[in-house]
Amino acid sequence: MKPKRKTAAKDSAPKPEDEKLRLTAATRRDYAAWLDMRKDLYSDVDDEFHALEMDLMLSSDDRACLLVRAPDDEAVGFIEITLRNAVDGCLGGPVGYIEGIYLIPTWRGLGLGPAMVDAVAEWFRTQGCRAMATDAEIDNEDAQQFWNDLGFEETYRIVQYRKSLGAPVAPPPQPKRRASKGARKKPAAKRRGR
C-alpha cells in the first residue's frame, strides 16, 4: 500500500477512544448519509441505480448493509454484504460476499476496516458459509493490499462482459401433465429433497 499517513488532523477526526467499532443495520432513516458514502465509493453510478441497490439491500433477507457509527451516532462507514449461491474460486455455497466496504477518510487507518470484516465473517459463519469472498477494482491497489493483509487470497483477474437481450420474452406455456391415477403430489419442500 502506498505510504499515505494521516494528513492534517481535522477537528472531526476521531480520537483514539473513538476507535471502537459500533455497527448497526442500515434503515431508511440512514438513506441520505449512506447514499453520500456510496457516491464517494461508486462515483460512476447514477442515483437511480444507487436507489435500486439500496432498496434491494433493505428488503432482502440475503443482503444487508451495516453502518459504522461514531459516538455521536453519525454514520461514518458501511459494509455491504450478500449471501451468494456460487462464487468463482470458492467451493460450494453459500458464500459470504463483501460487496463493498467504505469509511469516510478521517476514519481510515484506525483498524476499523479489519474489525468490520471480522464482524461480518462471524455472521457469515452463522449462515452456513464456509468461505467469504470479495473483489477490488483492478486499479485500486490500496484495496487489493487491504484484502491481502486480511488473509484473502487472490483467485482470478477477469474481464467481465455483458450483452443486452432486450425486453424479456415470456416463456411458452407448458402443457399440464396429468397425474396418473393414485399419484399424489408431494409438498414442494419434499420435492426439493428437504
Ligand X SMILES: CC(C)(COP(=O)(O)OP(=O)(O)OC[C@H]1O[C@@H](n2cnc3c(N)ncnc32)[C@H](O)[C@@H]1OP(=O)(O)O)[C@@H](O)C(=O)NCCC(=O)NCCS
Q: Is 157 in the site for ligand X (CB under 6 A)?
A: no
> Closest distance between ligand X and the C-beta of residue 112, in Å?
4
Fill in the per-residue mask, 68 to 107: x = in contact with ligand X (CB under 6 A), - = not in contact.
Answer: --------------------------------xxxx-x--
Of 27, 109, 141, 154, the residue at the interface with ligand X (CB under 6 A) is 109
Q: Is 111 in the site for ligand X (CB under 6 A)?
A: yes
- Range 14-73, binding ligand X (CB under 6 A): 41
Q: Is 5 in the site for ligand X (CB under 6 A)?
A: yes
Of 23, 33, 50, 114, the residue at the interface with ligand X (CB under 6 A) is 114
SS3 string, the chain, reads CCCCCCCCCCCCCCCHHHCCCCEEECCHHHHHHHHHHHHHHCCCCCHHHHHHHHHHHHHCCCEEEEEEECCCCCEEEEEEEEEECCCCCCCCCCEEEEEEEEECHHHCCCCHHHHHHHHHHHHHHHCCCCCEEECCCCCCHHHHHHHHHCCCCCCCCCCCCCCCCCCCCCCCCCCCCCCCCCCCCCCHHHHCCC
Which residues in this chain contact ligand X in the complex, by CB under 6 A?
1, 4-6, 41, 100-103, 105, 108-114, 136, 140, 143, 146
